[in-house]
Amino acid sequence: MTVCVHGLGYIGLPTAAVLADAGEAVLGYDASQSVRESLIDGTVHVDEPGLTDLVKRQIETGDLTIVPEPAPANVHVVCVPTPFDEDRKEPDLEYVKQCARSIAEILRPGDAVVLESTVPPGTTTNVFRPLLESSGLLAGEDFALAHCPETVLPGNILTELKQNDRVIGGVDAASCDAAIALYETFVAGDLRTTDATTAEFVKLIQNTFRDTNIAFANEVAKIAAEHEIDSRTAIELANEHPRVDILDPGPGVGGHCLPVDPWFLVQQSTRTELIETARQVNDSMVDYVIDELDECLGGLAGRQIAILGVAYKGDVDDARRSPGLDLSRKLQRRTDGRIDVRLHDPHVVDQVLNLQPLDNALDGADVTVLVTDHSDFAELRPVEIAERMDGHVVFDTKAMLNAAEWESAGLEVIKI
Ligand code: SAJ
């Protein structure tokens, strides 16, 4: 079977490579010319363990071909972004629409189209389908159409692509069968079928559940602090109960999924409160961190603060909606710019953020705030850090440091 993957980002590129590795003839298309050119030159722009080697190998063997425009194929897999409009709290579906229009131009009877991009409930049927049908072909009659949301965890994508179960939402039974034929070439997990809108909904409630659970953990952490007890110990003990599974508190929820998918879910609903409130709780964790810093420093203006970690989570290079960057912005705003915030991240590469080497970030700092749980930070040497800093407080928002070791180096460790 030939498969054309549309969108070669952090989902499309691994999917294309894994499909090629499974023996399919894969055509990879990305609207960005520079992405296409760099892939052809052997440069992989997505930092994901094992991905560079796999992509290079598949391109070298010819199983994966980067194409300059969408190409005819038995199956079209759509993995384009659905960016979030922050003001309107809505997704921008323009890439999905554009992709549907371009597929309509090359769609043939008997082909299948699978939408993987995360979209609000009803998008496959009400937005994507009519644009594909502008080809003159009918979904469910002339071509198969399904929504099959991706569920892989950044940092573990290649493993989860093969091992996770998939929900397959076809517009009819034959569409489900066509999508099953695609996924059974590389997925070891279960393939469960439903309709397209339910599949869209399931994806959104999975991420919303996680976001809401983290918001609960964050509230637990605030209450625990009022009782002067360790929230992590309390949560660990609570989780020993077979029906309790509370996630970890932290400086907020970042990335391109958990902070936005709950909005995709509630955008058409007038009946929800909990989900929006959970979002607000998670977004306000950065303000909580700032209040704690303010209190322990006795004022923020004129201070120098080292922020370790601007990636949205550990061991990834992605700084989208990152708590570390939000913290930096809000510290500047709270002090009208009368603060020296120095950002360091060993994974993120960015010319605009003015990221500092670790030593520069720490030299003379009044306080160090550890925001991202990168494995590298577990190796930090407290004695060297104590020597570089002016102050003695380390705010370990992810509770990843061995507090006793750091305290014996003369530092005070506070946690969320
Ligand atoms: N976080 C916490 N506490 C926790 C766990 C995470 O504060 O206990 C924070 C992280 O630090 C990070 C944010 O939440 O800032 C999101 O990280 P994550 O690891 O929970 O999730 P993502 O955004 O990397 O990936 C999620 C996953 N969804 C679920 O686990 C239900 C992934 O499987 C999805 O494929 C992905 O969203 C997506 O693309 O939708």
Interatomic CA distance for residues 373 and 397, integer angstroms: 9
Question: Cα separations (Å) of 344 from 68, 159, 184, 352?
Answer: 37, 29, 42, 13
Question: Which atom of ligand 1 is the closest one to the Cα of 207?
Answer: 31
- Asked if 385 and 365 count as a contact pair (C-beta separation under 8 A), the reply is no
| Binding site membership of 153 for ligand 1 (Cβ less than 6 Å) | yes
Question: Cα separations (Å) of 367 from 178, 299, 326, 390?
Answer: 56, 12, 17, 8
| Binding site membership of 4 for ligand 1 (Cβ less than 6 Å) | no
DSSP calls for 121-150: TTHIIIIIHHHHHTTS--BTTTBEEEE---
| Binding site membership of 206 for ligand 1 (Cβ less than 6 Å) | yes
Distance 72 CA to ligand 1 centre (A): 35
Distance 216 CA to ligand 1 centre (A): 15
DSSP calls for 8-66: -STTHHHHHHHHHHTT-EEEEE-S-HHHHHHHHTT---S--TTHHHHHHHHHHHTSEEE
204-283 is a CATH 1.10.1040.10 domain: yes
Predicted TM-score of the model (pTM) = 0.95
3-class state of residue 405 by DSSP? helix
CA-nearest residue, atom 1 of ligand 1: 253
| Binding site membership of 91 for ligand 1 (Cβ less than 6 Å) | no
- What is the CATH code of the structural domain delimited by 285-415? 3.40.50.720
Question: Cα separations (Å) of 247 from 214, 308, 390?
Answer: 6, 22, 34
Interatomic CA distance for residues 84 and 184, integer angstroms: 32
Return the CA Rg of the chain.
Answer: 23
Class of the 2-194 domain? alpha beta
DSSP H/E element including 325: helix 323-334
Domain residue limits, the chain? 2-194, 204-283, 285-415
CA-nearest residue, atom 7 of ligand 1: 250
Q: Do domains 2-194 and 285-415 have the same CATH topology?
A: yes
Interatomic CA distance for residues 179 and 85, integer angstroms: 30
How confident is the prediction along the chain (416 residues), in pLDDT tens digits per residue?
Answer: 999 999 999 999 999 999 999 999 999 999 999 999 999 999 999 888 999 999 999 999 999 999 999 999 999 999 999 999 989 889 999 999 999 999 999 999 999 999 999 999 999 999 999 999 999 999 999 999 999 999 999 999 999 999 999 999 999 999 999 999 999 999 999 999 999 999 999 999 999 999 999 999 999 999 999 999 999 999 999 999 999 999 999 999 999 999 999 999 998 888 899 999 999 999 999 999 999 999 999 999 999 999 999 999 999 989 999 999 999 999 999 999 999 999 999 999 998 999 999 999 999 999 999 999 999 999 999 999 999 999 999 999 999 999 999 999 999 999 99
3-class state of residue 118 by DSSP? coil
CA-nearest residue, atom 31 of ligand 1: 207
| Binding site membership of 315 for ligand 1 (Cβ less than 6 Å) | no
Catalytic machinery residues: 203, 257
Distance 152 CA to ligand 1 centre (A): 10
